[in-house]
Amino acid sequence: MLFRSLELQKSARLTSMLTEDIAVVAHAMQGFPIFIINLAVIVACGLYLAWQSGVLFSVFLGFGVLGVLAYSAITTRALHHVERARDQQDQLFFALDGLVNGVKELKLNPYRGRHFLARELTGAAGGYRDANVAGLTRYAVAGNLGRLLFFIAIAIQMLVSERLGRQDALSAYILVSLFLASPLDAVLTWLPAFSRAEVALKKINSCGISLDQSREKAVAVPSTTTAYHTLELQQVAHSHSTGSPE
């Protein structure tokens, strides 16, 4: 049930999910149409280049495959850092929740207050910062490597076309390749956002909360006009578990 799932979650985790995860998923959904349109433009331009010259297109395709493999190898490690940053964000929200709820106790015990600020709060904030910087740095390296391979492919196409004597196709290749720079940049820009959205969706699903759970069958209450003054319950028991999510 929806309310039961909400009850089992800690307030800090729910706050982190509502303030960060949902915003990340919404941001990725805004970029999804842009990503699909630019991807379709890249495929269409690739088909045109293949129609112009199969040899030059093979060079372009070879560097494209090399770029995809290099990008995947780097972003696999980057995704790990993004997931670690999301876990550290939970720890940071737990520390902030403890700071707000236990501020009186921390004021009464200066030693515990300094320990909390130095170890719990500062440690969680530093871990979140380091994981974010490591993940975004790897995404930046992967994106710039893809752009570098793109321009190397153009240079090699110029050399190959000169050897083959295909100067007529060279101008079309250069123009189309330069036109592809903008769609390729858009695709590489949105890929990190989709990776963060994937991590956010995993976190949301791990909480066991779904809007479908709110569609519970309503209990039909018989309409009656009979007035009553007392209500007696017989053989009724109620139990409440105090389980925690982790």
- pLDDT reported for residue 242: 52
Question: Tokens 């790897």 label which residue?
Answer: 138
Residue 1 and residue 213: Cα distance in Å, rounded? 6
- pLDDT above 80 for 73: yes
- pLDDT above 60 for 141: yes
Percent of the chain at pLDDT > 70 equals: 77
Mean pLDDT, residues 223-228: 58
Backbone angles phi, psi at 227, to 5 degrees: -85, 145
- pLDDT reported for residue 244: 46
At a CB cut-off of 8 Å and minimum separation 6, what does 174 contact? 154, 157, 158
Largest CA distance in the chain: 101
What is the pLDDT confidence band of residue 214, given thresholds at 50, 70 and 90? very low
> Would you say 242 and 31 are in contact if contact means Cβ atoms under 8 Å apart?
no
Residue 155 and residue 174: Cα distance in Å, rounded? 9
Kind plus residue range of the DSSP H or E element containing 204 = helix 181-206
* Region of residue 14 (left: phi > 0; alpha: psi -120 to 50; beta: else): alpha
- pLDDT reported for residue 166: 62
- The CA-CA-CA angle for residues 57, 63, 65, to 5°, reads 100
Q: What is the rounded average pLDDT for all residues in the chain? A: 75
> Would you say 6 and 178 are in contact if contact means Cβ atoms under 8 Å apart?
no
Mean pLDDT, residues 181-208: 80
For residue 176, CA distances in Å to 26, 35, 156, 185 come to 33, 19, 15, 15
What is the pLDDT confidence band of residue 217, given thresholds at 50, 70 and 90? very low
| Of the listed ranges 27-41, 81-95, 179-193, 196-210, the one predicted with least confidence | 196-210
